[in-house]
């Protein structure tokens, strides 16, 4: 089974990866968890929630995960069962900081002794690491925004359209994942004392709430910045298209009188001036050129060119 355990005199940490029927049956038999909670563990990522039972809390949290292949930030779920002397975590081995933390606790007895003093202390350490792991992703988004800004003002407006949309998608996904964290951590802080006989780490959970505020403020700033850059980029592209349409319109208007002159001299009238005289072709071309120059002079006078 995909189950590993760490046990100290005060805390039993059961870590379940890639939960399947055998793992869920073990949890049901060992801890008597509610079947609906175990079904939630087996289902794909859902909304964050917290359920309270007589002998444990069931907590579902969603964290952002960066997909290196697609460059997209996607949600990944971790489920927590918090009891008086145990913490059960259920996930799909997608968050590297979480798996690294478990291995460190297994190999480092000093760290294990420090963080596994109580279930709420261990929960805090896990959440703190997972929240801190989001800051490098925020930094990467800031780097993307800075690069996009430089590209826009370097004259590469059309080339960065896809990058703007990809960055905007990541910010939206990030915000959707982090939206409920502050409220969920506050609810855990309020409910945990029921299952913890020792001193509850209230101040630590307040620190987690501050982390979520910092993350949310950063995301708000990034959302406003990328929206402003998108509007700027679209304005520059529209300005360029307007210049192109203006130039094509002016060319069409200049050529229209010249075409009219050519049409007049190509009619089959009994008498057409200049037609039949020596050099009539070049005189006609010169007349058309004078008309075009006159139109250009008129446009310059009106400051349309």
CA pair distance 48, 177, nearest whole angstrom: 9
Most confident of 117-121, 196-200, 285-289: 117-121
CA pair distance 174, 24, nearest whole angstrom: 30
- Check whether 272 has a pLDDT greater than 90: no
Please compute the mean of the pLDDT values over residues 201-212 and round it to a whole number.
81
CB–CB of 66/143 below 8 Å? Answer: no
HSE at residue 38, side-chain half, CA atoms within 13 A, is: 16
Mean pLDDT over each residue of the chain, to the nearest integer: 85
**Interval 73-131: pLDDT, tens:** 999 999 999 988 899 999 988 888 999 999 999 999 999 988 898 888 899 999 999 99
**Contact partners, residue 292, CB within 8 Å, separation at least 6:** 254, 255, 257, 258
pLDDT band at 153 (very low <50, low <70, confident <90, very high): confident
Q: Positive or negative, the Cα torsion across 223, 224, 227, 229?
A: negative
CA pair distance 80, 95, nearest whole angstrom: 15
Please compute the mean of the pLDDT values over residues 44-56 and round it to a whole number.
83
pLDDT band at 198 (very low <50, low <70, confident <90, very high): very low
């Amino acid at each position: 089974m995909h189950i590993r355990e760490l046990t100290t005199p005060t805390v039993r940490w059961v870590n379940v990866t890639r939960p399947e029927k055998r793992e869920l049956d073990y949890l049901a038999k060992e801890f008597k968890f509610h079947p609906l909670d175990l079904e939630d563990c087996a289902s794909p990522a859902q909304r964050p929630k917290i359920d309270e039972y007589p002998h444990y809390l069931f907590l579902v949290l969603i964290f952002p995960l960066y997909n290196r292949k697609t460059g997209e930030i996607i949600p990944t779920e971790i489920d927590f069962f918090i009891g008086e002397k145990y913490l059960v975590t259920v996930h799909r081995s997608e968050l590297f900081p979480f798996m690294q933390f478990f291995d460190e606790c297994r190999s480092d007895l000093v760290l294990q002794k420090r963080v596994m003093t109580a279930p709420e202390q261990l929960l805090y350490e896990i959440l703190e690491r997972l929240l801190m792991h989001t800051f490098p992703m925020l930094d990467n988004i800031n780097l993307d925004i800075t690069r996009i800004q430089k590209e826009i003002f370097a004259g590469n407006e059309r080339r960065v359209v896809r990058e703007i949309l990809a960055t905007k998608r990541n910010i939206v996904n990030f915000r959707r994942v982090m939206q409920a964290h502050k409220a969920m951590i506050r609810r855990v802080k309020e409910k945990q004392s029921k299952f913890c006989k020792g001193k509850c780490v209230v101040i630590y959970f307040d620190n987690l709430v501050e982390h979520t505020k910092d993350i949310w403020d950063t995301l708000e700033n990034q959302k406003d910045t990328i929206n402003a850059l998108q509007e700027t980029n679209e304005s520059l592209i529209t300005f360029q298209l307007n210049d192109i349409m203006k130039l094509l319109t002016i060319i069409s208007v200049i050529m229209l009188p010249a075409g009219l002159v050519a049409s007049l001299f190509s009619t089959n009238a009994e008498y057409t001036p200049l037609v039949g005289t020596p050099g009539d072709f070049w005189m006609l071309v010169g007349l058309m050129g004078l008309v075009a120059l006159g139109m250009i002079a008129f446009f310059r006078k009106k400051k349309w060119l």
